[in-house]
Amino acid sequence: MSESLIEESILSRPTYGTLAIAPGLAHYFVADASGAECVIRVAQAAPKGFMEKVHILYVPTPGENALITALYALGAKRFEHFPTIDDAIARLGDWLADAKMGSQLYLAGTEGLIGQAVAKGEECGLDHTAVQCEHRGSLARRVQCVHCKTMIEKVTTQPVKCPSCDLLLLVRDHYSRRLAAFQGVCINAEDPTEEVEIREVFK
């Protein structure tokens, strides 16, 4: 069972499942700290010889080492970890550029990581049926300010102030897979003097 807490929403908002091994010649995993346990779960249930076809990219929480050790111990063909999602996604692009037909992509963790990896997979020509996602951890959102186009990472509040243009943005459920972001639209554009309470809602 997926442990994601995402409520039913509009149709552009992604939904996530539970990672399970699909037939494939190569298996690429990308996870952050909240998704590491999903990778370990899949690996432990895998048939003999599976890990020889597995490539893992990992984004640890700063200062955390136990999960790096645990993931390394799975014995994948390749295992690399990077301090930021951006770095890991760039590396995923390198790997997928050399990937063969029949490759599978498995993503686990927060929505920011999943979304950017899905977009990279699409960019690299991976069919969407070859991509699985399991959401874990924070519900923090990656938000694009529709006005100045700034990407705002790890948004937990509603509304959120754009750090670039200073507008107070309503975080919508409308989601772009290409941008891997939710849409942020000025919440008090009609009357900028309107005071709006900022609440923590994406925990």
Task: Name the residues that contact another protein, by CB under 8 A.
Answer: 10-13, 144, 146-147, 149, 167, 172-179, 183, 185-186, 189-192
Residue 106's CB is within 10 A of a number of other CB atoms, namely 26
Burial category of 7 from C-beta neighbours within 10 Å (exposed 0-12, middle 13-18, buried 19 and up): exposed
- Minimum separation from the CB atom of position 146 to another protein (A): 5
- Minimum separation from the CB atom of position 174 to another protein (A): 5
Residue 133: what are its φ and ψ, rounded to 5°?
-130, 140
Q: Which is nearer to another protein, 13 or 53 (CB)?
A: 13
Q: Which is nearer to another protein, 35 or 184 (CB)?
A: 184
Tell me which residue of 4, 6, 18, 13 sits closest to 132, measured CA to CA: 18
Is residue 4 within 8 A of residue 16, CB to CB? The reply is yes
Element (H, E) at 134: strand 131-135
Tell me which residue of 28, 33, 114 sits closest to 69, measured CA to CA: 33
- Minimum separation from the CB atom of position 35 to another protein (A): 24
Contacts of 71 (CB under 8 A, 6+ apart): 31, 36, 39, 40, 56, 58, 79, 81
- Minimum separation from the CB atom of position 40 to another protein (A): 33
- Minimum separation from the CB atom of position 188 to another protein (A): 8
- Minimum separation from the CB atom of position 70 to another protein (A): 37
Q: Which is nearer to another protein, 103 or 144 (CB)?
A: 144
Q: Which is nearer to another protein, 40 or 151 (CB)?
A: 151
Q: Report angle CA 129, 149, 110 to the nearest 5 degrees.
A: 45
Q: Which is nearer to another protein, 52 or 173 (CB)?
A: 173
Q: Which is nearer to another protein, 40 or 146 (CB)?
A: 146
